[in-house]
Copies of this chain bind each other. A is one copy, B any other.
Amino acid sequence: MAQPRVAVIGLGSMGLGMARSLRRAGMDVVGTDISAERRALFAEAGGAIADSAVAAATGADIVVCVVITGGQTEAVLFGPGGIAGAMPSGSVFVSSATMPPGQARALGLRAVEAGIGFLDAPISGGARAAEAGSMTIMSSGPRAIYDAALPALEAMGKRLFWLGEEPGLGSAMKTVNQLLAGANLATACEAIAFAIRLGLDPKQVDEIISGSAGNSWMWGDRISALVAGDYTPRSAVDIFTKDLGIVMDTARASNFPVPMAGAALQGFLMAAAAGMGREADASVTKVYAQLAGLELPKAAND
């Protein structure tokens, strides 16, 4: 069987890595982004680019849409310049933005009406996993559509999950993951700042926590870096104000209390309010440090 032709819509830090992983797997990839700068980055890496989503989607077997929000995803499909009419019959739309499960469900229903195969397929693992083709992909949608998208999913992800026939389950799973990731990160930021306040050595704290009951994936990825003076953003504060906002909205719509997520969102909102929205998400630590007059580890690249 010939390799499928894949369009990647959105060449941000995730989309660019995913497009490269698809190319590395030998697929015929066309990338596009509203930013000429992002398109140029993919072109520099040898990728084919298109000037519009419609141009990218025309002739594609699989469209991977990796924009930021559900609203943007809806616009890509059904807005002015939307691709719904341009997608070939039998092609599949893989929706990777993080959005409320209800919105993914609604988009799935609307896609069915338009004759488009819709896969609710949020991603996890960050930019490095996107680049390495080792993301976690949490999919839901009709099994036949999942199977049709599988060559692209396998090129982009190492841990692939199919959660059921209904779009929305994938987004529900991502929402749960973001609740955990966001609250564990807010906790990690609080704890490292508190440790410094108590007179402990941050490097020693990191060494101890990394092997103790207080450890988390977020601690290892974000706080170990911060302690080493690496303030490179892996993901921005604004991503968590968005994703924890989705957690809160989804929980409220389900009449379900999520006090840990609520407290975590306040931490990221404090960082955003202090002007750090585009900075590394671990900047919540800086909020505590500023309040309490603490000195954080110096940036290693200063």
Given A259-B190, A260-B263, A214-B172 contact (CB < 8 Å): no
Whether the Cβ atoms of A215 and B212 lie closer than 8 Å is no
A173 interface residue, CB < 8 Å from B? Answer: yes
Q: Do A214 and B178 touch (CB < 8 A)?
A: yes
Residue of B nearest to A137 (CB): B208
Mask, A157-172, CB within 8 Å of B = 1, is 0010101000001001
Residue in chain B with minimal CB distance to A234: B213
Residue count of chain A within 8 Å CB distance of chain B: 67
From the candidates B126, B190, B205, B288, name the one contacting A213 in the complex (CB within 8 A). B126
Question: At the interface, is chain A mostly helix, strand, loop or mixed?
Answer: helix
- Copies of this chain, complex-wide, total 2
- Which of these, B163, B181, B201, B262, contacts A200 with CB under 8 Å? B163
- Can you list 23 residue pairs at the A/B interface with Cβ under 8 Å? A136-B208, A159-B212, A161-B208, A163-B200, A163-B201, A169-B199, A169-B200, A172-B195, A172-B199, A173-B195, A173-B204, A176-B195, A176-B198, A179-B187, A179-B191, A179-B214, A181-B213, A184-B216, A194-B251, A197-B256, A215-B216, A216-B216, A260-B260
| Residues of A participating in the B interface, judged by any CB pair closer than 8 Å | 101, 124-126, 136, 138, 159, 161, 163, 169, 172-173, 175-181, 183-184, 186-188, 190-191, 193-195, 197-201, 204-205, 207-209, 211-219, 221, 250-251, 254-264, 266-267, 288, 291-292
